[in-house]
Structure 1
Amino acid sequence: MIRLEHVKEARQRIADVVHVTPLLTSEQLSLRCGCDIYLKAEHLQKTGSFKIRGATNKVKEAVERGAGYVTAASSGNHGQAVAYIAQKLGIPATIVVPEDAAQCKVDAIRSYGGAVEECGFTSAERLPRAKELAASQNGIYIPPYDDPCIMAGQGTIGLEILEQLGDADAIVVPIGGGGLISGILTAVKETRPKVRVIGVEPAMANDTWLSLKQQSIVSIPGSKTIADGLRTTQPGDLTFPVLMKYLDDLVLVSEEEIRQALRFVLERMKQMIEPSSATTVAAAMFGKPPFSGKKVVAVISGGNVDVGELHLLLKD
């Protein structure tokens, strides 16, 4: 299990690459939520999401161990982040994507210097191929969340939040595989344990909620939630124990609640965020749990939206 010192080490390793992202505020959003709400703006991060933190920590660590090639299985933010940092470090990267990957995402990976290989339609097909490619060239496979370096890199967000808002009462974090929230939990609970950390999942992709209820990892079928970054089928083997140890609460939000939050942030704050990010805003807007009068930070995990599909995301 990762510890606070691993997050601090990650912060030093990635400092020359990542941005310290701001906390954004909106009087109208705070009124709507009934609390003082701050958005941790990882959609303004390098490559448009928090993923660059963990990817940078892992790829740099791999290079320190002599790796000259990396791979990843992803069509989205993780793949873009791995391609970006590999290019910065001067090593090749291959990102294995599904055959039906959105062209805008494939183009983004290539724009960061990554080679793209199509393989099947599911992660069960992509992941073995990415590992096979890494092994064939003495390279390193970079997992999306279930890895200590990835988790520690994402946890640097927690350190920044505590420095930016010293009297924060709660932090709300989206949950996919759990890399982001497990890192933030480690940073926050081992620094200021009284700060509440709340996880949020789409009700349509509630694998972690079910797993916590059963106190063991539960797998669910693939989901079609609009929060596509949270469509994992089960929490990670390494991330789940951290949630079991530290998480204060986990709430579920509906597709309509996600859409309303996405629309509010776009129309009122003029910020383009992903539906996955909007889950944390939705939790605050709809009192899940009630945050009356508290200072709450909602982690905005990314902003890589296909503009051509935006009208579909906002459609009731």
Structure 2
Amino acid sequence: MSLHLETPLVPSRPLSLASGQDVWLKLDALQPCGSFKLRGVGLACQAYARQGKRRFVSSSGGNAGIAVAYAGRCLGLPVTVVVPQTTTERARQLIRQEDAEVIVHGSAWHEANAYAQSLLTDDAAFIHPFDDPLLWQGHASLIDEVVISGFKPDAIVLSVGGGGLLAGVCEGLARNDWADVPVFAVETDGAASLAAAMASKAPTALPAVTSVATSLGAKQVCQQAFELSQQRPIHSHVVTDAQALDACERFLLDHRILVEPACGAALALAYAPSEALKAYQSVLVVVCGGVTATHEQIREWRASC
């Protein structure tokens, strides 16, 4: 039995009117821990538990850590999550709420990740937030559910941070013979590591992550995401923090669901499609969710943009 839920696939009248297209939403913000992360994290944790691992260690800026903590509690195994200093107090509280240990280390995710690796023992499994084939296999279930519904979009819009969701969606498209469906990969300015890699035709590390969309805060996308960008129809698109935050507020009004700026990036493109996206009539938007930002914080960020 999987730890994630099958999430609703719904048409969006507000987004369709705004864009002039037929927009459908895959509402993974409704997963038990608030984001798509549970699909891959849950599968990975179950796989490692079957292998005899008795503890999970992860590094995360928020949502992946919450998903690991949730999975560990469901499986009855202890969890340690190392977060950087930039992780919000709300995110730390949500991880602790799942009975996991939180360790704060480093000024950025890569420093927290290195420390988390040092905590591994023979009986512990490391759950990466985005770079593990087990994660991609689990995230691919999102596309499986869309296929079963009988709806095939002309294009898919999603947000990209480290590239785990992109890799999973592409795996889902491939295993369902939908490899012809293009993916619009959206990032915020200041966290656009995929756009940088595609422009230079090589994985490229950003000097720093400066976007408020901290859930997109991987300085470099995983190798799998980059390779996919060279092999299949993937369109890179970058929005501003202000556009992502506006989309969060607009989506809350339109659909009564609060999402993070990381998810707002994809919604921003869906509300105001680029010329490339306008070429497709039927569009699926992955509402990946995120629970580490409050509405008050989103408004504070918006006021400062």
- Normalised by the length of structure 1, the TM-score is 0.89
Structure 2 residue corresponding to 1:178, chosen from 153, 163, 173 = 163
Name 1:309's counterpart in structure 2: 297
Structure 2 residue corresponding to 1:220, chosen from 206, 215, 221 = 206
- Using the alignment, how far apart are the partners of 1:243 and 1:295 within structure 2? 22
- Determine helix, strand or coil for the equivalent of 2:258: coil
Q: Which moved more, 1:42-51 or 1:210-219?
A: 210-219
- Determine helix, strand or coil for the equivalent of 1:232: coil
Are 1:158 and 2:143 an aligned pair? yes
- Using the alignment, how far apart are the partners of 2:242 and 2:133 within structure 1? 34
- Using the alignment, how far apart are the partners of 2:90 and 2:109 within structure 1? 19
Q: Shift in Å at residue 283 of structure 1?
A: 1.1
- Using the alignment, how far apart are the partners of 2:171 and 2:86 within structure 1? 36
Runs of 4+ in 1 over 3 A off after TM superposition: none
Name 1:207's counterpart in structure 2: 193
Structure-to-structure mapping, 1:226-305, within 5 angstroms: 226-288=212-274, 289-291=276-278, 294-304=281-291, 305=293
Structure 2 residue corresponding to 1:113, chosen from 93, 96, 99 = 99
Q: Shift in Å at residue 95 of structure 1?
A: 0.7
Flag the 1:293–1:196 CA change in 2: closer, same or farther, 3 A: closer
Q: Which moved more, 1:72-81 or 1:204-213?
A: 204-213
- Using the alignment, how far apart are the partners of 2:98 and 2:62 within structure 1? 13
- Determine helix, strand or coil for the equivalent of 1:110: helix
Structure 2 residue corresponding to 1:149, chosen from 126, 134, 145 = 134
Structure-to-structure mapping, 1:53-202, within 5 angstroms: 53-135=39-121, 138-190=123-175, 191-202=177-188
- Using the alignment, how far apart are the partners of 1:101 and 1:255 within structure 2? 18
- Determine helix, strand or coil for the equivalent of 1:195: coil
Q: Shift in Å at residue 83 of structure 1?
A: 0.7
Flag the 1:246–1:186 CA change in 2: closer, same or farther, 3 A: farther
RMSD: 1.8
- Determine helix, strand or coil for the equivalent of 1:149: helix
Amino acid of the residue matched to residue 145 of structure 1? F
Flag the 1:100–1:212 CA change in 2: closer, same or farther, 3 A: closer
Structure 2 gap ranges (5+): none
- Using the alignment, how far apart are the partners of 2:238 and 2:244 within structure 1? 10
- Using the alignment, how far apart are the partners of 2:268 and 2:169 within structure 1? 20
Flag the 1:113–1:125 CA change in 2: closer, same or farther, 3 A: same
Q: Shift in Å at residue 268 of structure 1?
A: 2.2
Q: Shift in Å at residue 202 of structure 1?
A: 1.2
In 1, are the aligned partners of 2:156 and 2:286 still within 8 Å (CA)?
A: yes
Amino acid of the residue matched to residue 298 of structure 2? L
Q: Which moved more, 1:60-69 or 1:197-206?
A: 197-206
Q: Which moved more, 1:294-303 or 1:244-253?
A: 244-253
Q: Shift in Å at residue 292 of structure 1?
A: 5.5
Task: Show CA shifts across 1:245-290 (max 9, x none).
Answer: 2243111112222122122111222221111111111112222233
Q: Shift in Å at residue 120 of structure 1?
A: 2.1
Task: Show CA shifts across 1:131-178 (max 9, x none).
Answer: 12122x631111111111011111111222223352311111111111
Q: Which moved more, 1:166-175 or 1:304-313?
A: 304-313
- Using the alignment, how far apart are the partners of 1:72 and 1:62 within structure 2? 13
In 2, are the aligned partners of 1:185 and 1:243 still within 8 Å (CA)?
A: no
Task: Show CA shifts across 1:97-118 (max 9, x none).
Answer: 2245322111110111111112
Name 1:7's counterpart in structure 2: none
- Determine helix, strand or coil for the equivalent of 1:113: coil
Q: Which moved more, 1:269-278 or 1:185-194?
A: 185-194
In 1, are the aligned partners of 2:53 and 2:125 still within 8 Å (CA)?
A: yes
- Using the alignment, how far apart are the partners of 1:260 and 1:113 within structure 2? 34
- Using the alignment, how far apart are the partners of 1:171 and 1:54 within structure 2? 19
- Determine helix, strand or coil for the equivalent of 2:33: helix
In 2, are the aligned partners of 1:44 and 1:303 still within 8 Å (CA)?
A: no
